[in-house]
Structure 1
């Protein structure tokens, strides 16, 4: 079943709605079946465990609920989708407008053909890799090394180990800022390195992927190797945001940072990882200003040392 067909379906659960924290909701109450919260803390939703609040946090009940909500909102305020929060800094001043957080109704992963899968935007990327392996679908093993959601990797063309989302994604379902439901092909997404042409405020709700036939045990072994390598080389157990900077052409960011003498460098409660220099970590009490400020110090010192200008890969959002 195409996720586009979910619009309007009965999932057997009674729809619920709630508005918490304020009476001046941005849309009429009849437009909401999910949960709408004013002044919602976002630190618990991001891996850095830092940052301010969302003016409004909306957790839709299903695809139709999100479509109706965005139609009712009618562009009256900015909208941002928040996935697993692994590659994001939420600034301390919080996020203006509405943050969309997709939950359980958007986490299904379904094998749709011999070499194809469909996944909800809230499903972790590694869940897609595991489901593909079980079905004997190869080519998606790299997704097990990306600590993000399907929506996030679709928007940002997430990748690792020489593969990117654009190599395996066929198309995706998106609700545009005004509430229009569209399906966009790989070509229409205009992919480049860690970037797509999706406009601000567009929310990915599902994506479809295609691999090629393989042996489940061989695929699982490759995934196990990726997981082991990540554990050995990256600060997996820390409060971090994943790779901080894009790799400049002809360079590895971590090598440039290390060469500039920044391994373990600190700014307030934020630190350049001792284990992998392209990871920043919250040592326990870092503010988002500490973390972003550390990143800017790293960029400046790397440029002074090597003449290479690092570009942020981590998305930084909200008010300073």
Structure 2
């Protein structure tokens, strides 16, 4: 059995002047938008980038580290998350500011929607798509989030990060290794902030595009439900929701988990779902889609942690897909 309190005590002993917050056996269900999942052994919230560097340098290499954002695109398994979960706070990592005529600097805890609003205030076009993405800048950087024909890689200039040894790095856009919903940057890097570039635009036109994004999201997505956004990535040349619908999975339920009737690429917690229900539903949908059309859907929802005792989710093909 894992002992979060003992891990916390060991961590504190080597941290010295850490200014952030640390807690043992922290409930991850309070963080994720699905509102499910077991506890983190230790949840760490550093005060700023220097504090994060101090924390990372103090964590033994044999202790796993998991970085989470605002929990919008995250499914935490019912057995919880071993080791240290690092969550960057809005206070320390949420600032967004204009740094040149065409550039913005945004911390990785800044909500995507706030980045879009800051770009509007600065009269910078090219950021409207963030208005409809329910996540933070850190997640957008890691997964190359995009919508409405624009992706994060189209706006990023450089990314600041801290590695497992506490060393700071600055990565260029090319060094992020972007592809569709993917970055090949080392998983050991914790992104702290990024510089984005737009182009001068008419605020009225920018606002109109943001309004279009908001209207689309409110009319076709279950934004008032406990959901994590898009469940599966779009296959090459296709749409995930069309594959799910064609396989007869719109409204499909496993326990308290359901593929939304409104937008069938969204999983929702109807009120009493477990993480196991949600992951089993996703794998069931993947199998039905493969059986129906031959298409293998890949997860867009990030799944972390361990299953609770007695739980089994048999992944269709592999655990990573």
Please give the TM-score of this superposition, normalised by the length of structure 2: 0.91
Aligned with residue 44 of structure 1, among 30, 34, 45: 30
Correspondence for 1:17: none
Q: How does 1:182-197 map to 2 (within 5 A)?
A: 182-197=169-184
My pick for the range that moved more, 63-72 or 24-33, is 24-33
Correspondence for 2:286: 299
Q: Does 1:140 align with 2:110?
A: no
> CA separation in 1, counterparts of 2:188 and 2:75?
17
Correspondence for 1:5: none
> CA separation in 1, counterparts of 2:161 and 2:107?
11
Q: Does 1:237 align with 2:236?
A: no
Contact 1:74 1:178 in 2 (8 A): no
Cα displacement (A) at 1:39: 0.9
Q: Does 1:106 align with 2:106?
A: no
> CA separation in 2, counterparts of 1:201 and 1:172?
14
> CA separation in 2, counterparts of 1:264 and 1:165?
31
Cα displacement (A) at 1:105: 1.3
Q: How does 1:118-137 map to 2 (within 5 A)?
A: 118-137=105-124
Correspondence for 1:283: 270
My pick for the range that moved more, 136-145 or 22-31, is 22-31
Contact 2:29 2:37 in 1 (8 A): yes
Q: Does 1:308 align with 2:295?
A: yes
> CA separation in 2, counterparts of 1:227 and 1:304?
35
> CA separation in 2, counterparts of 1:202 and 1:29?
20
> CA separation in 2, counterparts of 1:290 and 1:39?
23
Cα displacement (A) at 1:181: 0.4
Correspondence for 1:8: none
Correspondence for 1:61: 47
SS in 1 for 2:9: coil
> CA separation in 2, counterparts of 1:258 and 1:76?
43
Please give the TM-score of this superposition, normalised by the length of structure 1: 0.92
Q: How does 1:1-320 map to 2 (within 5 A)?
A: 21=5, 24-27=9-12, 28-103=14-89, 104-320=91-307
Cα displacement (A) at 1:232: 0.3
SS in 2 for 1:151: helix
Cα displacement (A) at 1:29: 4.3
